[in-house]
């Protein structure tokens, strides 16, 4: 798998959540490379019990209803028995483009607050990025 030149790392974790967000200096042209990196990041989160189940469930959901692609964000997501708690992995690219995966246990009703937390952290990274450019 090619190196994605990841230059920043933010990790937030409580007992029931694991969120990994990184910045990359360049975006690969191959979406499979991006997805593989995201799955690897998710697997390192500490919440994944079975990465094959998670990947299969995310791909199955994408096949049925597509990934959540909107405003330069491509977010793959699914409920799955392959995780013990909410987990997310996001790669942020230049031009405010981001790709991510979200997974949460089957027996969970809603994770809107945790998803909002991920977006809040992404926004903070974007603000820091803008500050660096202005300096």
pLDDT digits (tens, 9 = 90+) for 57-112: 999 987 777 666 666 778 888 899 999 988 999 998 887 788 889 899 988 776 77
pLDDT digits (tens, 9 = 90+) for 3-49: 444 433 444 444 346 888 888 888 888 888 889 999 999 999 889 99
Q: What is the DSSP letter of 45?
A: T
Residues 6+ apart with CB under 8 A from 72: 95, 96, 97, 98
Contact 66, 45 (CB under 8 A): no
Residue 62 and residue 11: Cα distance in Å, rounded?
26
Structure token digits, residue 106 = 């089957």
Q: Please tell me the pTM assigned to this model.
A: 0.78
Alpha-carbon distance of 108 to 86, in angstroms, equals 9
Instruction: Show the domains of the chain with their CATH numbers.
Output: 6-134 (3.40.930)
């Amino acid at each position: 798998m090619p190196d994605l030149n990841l230059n920043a790392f933010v990790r937030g974790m409580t007992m029931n959540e694991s969120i990994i967000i990184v910045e990359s200096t360049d975006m690969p042209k191959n979406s499979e490379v991006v997805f593989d990196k995201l799955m690897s990041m998710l697997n390192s989160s500490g919440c994944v019990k079975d990465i094959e189940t998670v990947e299969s469930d995310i791909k199955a959901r994408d096949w049925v209803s597509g990934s959540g692609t909107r405003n330069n964000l491509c977010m793959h997501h699914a409920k799955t028995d392959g995780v013990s708690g909410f987990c997310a992995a996001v790669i942020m690219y230049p031009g405010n483009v981001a790709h991510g995966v979200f997974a949460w246990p089957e027996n969970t009703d809603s994770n809107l607050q945790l998803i909002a937390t991920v977006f809040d952290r992404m926004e903070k990274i974007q603000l820091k990025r803008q500050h660096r450019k202005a300096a």
